[in-house]
Every structure is written in C-alpha cells, then in structure tokens.
Structure 1
C-alpha cells in the first residue's frame, strides 16, 4: 500500500478513522506498508470510531470502557499518547467531534467539561460549530493538518469561516459515489488516505488535491513526520 497516496478499500473505510489517528491502524516507519495493532473491544470494536476521538497527542474513550480495554489500548500506543475516559451525554463522541493535531470542531451542545478535557488531552483549540447546518460535525467533515473536506452543501461563506478557524484549506465534496457522510467513507492523515471502494476517480482527485497527498514523499515521512510514526 505504501506506493499509493490515496487507496480505495471497503466502503466503510472511515470506521478506522479515530483509531487510525493514534494507532489502531497506522503506517510503520519503514516502507513495508501498514502496521496494524489491536485496540480493544469497545462496543464490539466496529463502533470504535463512533465513540472515540484522537490525534497524536491523545485519545478520548467513553466512560463505559473497561479497565481491560483501556490497558489493551494503552499497550498499543506510544507512551506519549494520553488516554482519557470521558463521561459525555452525547456518547457517540466520534460523530459529534472531529479534530487534527491543533484544532477541534464539536457539536454545539457538547458538555463544557468534555470540551475542557478535549482541549487538555488532545492539546487543541475547540470551536462549537455546525457543517451545512448539520450538528454531527464528526460525520460531515474530515480534515487533517493539511486540508479538509466538508458536506457538499456547505456554502462558500461557511467554508471560508471554517477554513479560517481550522487554518487549513477546505473543499465541499463527497465520497463513495456521492455520499455526504464523509467520515464514514474515508480515513486520512498527513500522508495517506483510504477511501470506500465506490469512491470515483473525480472524488479521489479532489481528496488527493485538498489533502496535499501528492506532496507526501518518503523523505517527508522520514523527517517531518518521524515523531508521529515512531514509538518513543
């Protein structure tokens, strides 16, 4: 897989999104491709991305996460990544929040305590926003440290406002041949993206462009991204 910057996989590629940020599925430091790590059995695992949020600084998991699951996740991640249980009324944390390494967008009704924990553990600036009048910002917006894609009905003015908050370029788009639920169909970091199998060549072109994936050469991975790849 390492020879591709944008790869089609199963349609529900986004189900690895939150885990992929911090280690459930992550790139190895070599050119051998993907390194997979088990990351527990939270709600039978397939809901992992719905109930967690993470970046290179930390990972937030639901309060219902057992001690055994927490330890399993801890053993799979670098020591520098903080893990924190969160008691949140809006329990599907991955659907109501989204972030990169610097900024997070959250549901307008997210608990204040959760917002404070999010800012502290993930080391991000938090903004309460909607995307195309949708409160599930984690479902209708995907962004990395390089760029992002938002709901196709997001107005130009809203795109400009969000881009200003996130400090990355944004574009309105779709995945999986027109799906508006962006996060359910793709997972991306600063150098690679995986998209649902139905994603068209036009959609892939937009994804490669906005996330600047063609600029992520092996030399960049070995230098600028080294801290994110190597356990310390």
Structure 2
C-alpha cells in the first residue's frame, strides 16, 4: 500500500492486521530514508537505531515470505521513502495499491505534527511517479483507493478493494483493539495518537479544512497529482472530496 503521510495509512494497516491471517510491516524503508537523506524528522536517531536502515535487506524482506508464515503480508509504504538509489525491483513481487487523500486534509494533519511541510514531504509527486512505474510494467493501471471513500463507507470500500486484489473480505477488517500494536514503528508515539485511540475507521469526513495562505499554495501544487490519481481510481475529480 503506497501513500503519502497522513493518508489513513495506519488505520488501513490496522484493518488488514485485524484479519488474523495477515502480517503487517510499518513503513519498511523509513530508517533507510532518514539515514540516506539526513533529513530532520521527529525521533530520527531513535528510528535509525531501532529499525533496519539497509535498503537492500529491507527490499529483500519485502519480497516475503510473511514473518510468521501468514497467507498475506501487508506493507505500509510511504512514497517519499523511495528515493533515488533504492532498488524498486521488489515491487514486481508485490501487489501494489495506491492510497490517496485530498491535499488539504493531508497538509492540515501533517502540519499538526511537523510544521512547514513542502511538496516533497507530502508524497503526491512521488506517488504519481511510482504509479506510472507500476502501470508501465503491469500493462494496466494498478488499484487506486481514496481515503475519503473509505471513511464514507468502510465496508463497501474494503470489499471493493479486496475484490480488486483477490483477497477474501472479512468483517474483522472493520475494527481493531485500541492502543499501540506490536508491529508499530518506534515513531508511533509521535504520530499515532489518534489512531491508537480508535477501534475502527472514523465517521465520514466533514468539509475541507481552511488553511493559511502559505499552506493553500502547497495544496494548489499538490492538487493536479491528487486529481490525476482520483481519475485513476475511476472517479471524476469534480465529484471527489470537496
């Protein structure tokens, strides 16, 4: 599952892990990304110490098998982590799905945890590039899902997703126990407060947030990528999350 940050990505990971037949891996390349770029993120040093920062060994593990021999292996990937120099060939051994969210919601949520996000931080450009790469070697468009639709109707959305990736749906995906999970990355204490308080997907989202002018410019930069991916999901951008 490929998304930018603050895209409902952790809740989706929890939903798949709740199946009982699916291992989960939280942002496999995060430590490697931080080590290679030197970028300053919350808990940077702790993340690098606690997680595998060698992209080659991470990629090898992404090919499977799942850690406990489970039939399914859910990997929550951030598009921003796939920087130049990381071998992406492992993706050919995976079913790649793209999770999108309206830029205004992403920016509003991200800025609460890390101020001053840039276009590079929120992953829309990288997501479109990865989508194109997968589509080229598949010969067709991979699956795209919008977090807005998941929040609006979790059961219908997850049923459609499971059908698209040929995984049987179970209603166990609709809820999970509150609190931290054993497969959370060490960064969970900074980023996952809201989802740790949850036991399922939240209610349908309300109106888009009203943000300061500098953030509105960032949203304008990201919108063409979001709208393009929305079209790839089979939905008209004019009828999308507004």
Which structure shows the bigger proportion of residues in strand conformation?
1
Q: TM-score, normalised by structure 2?
A: 0.25
- Bigger relative CO (Cα 8 Å, ≥ 6 apart): 2
Q: TM-score, normalised by structure 1?
A: 0.26
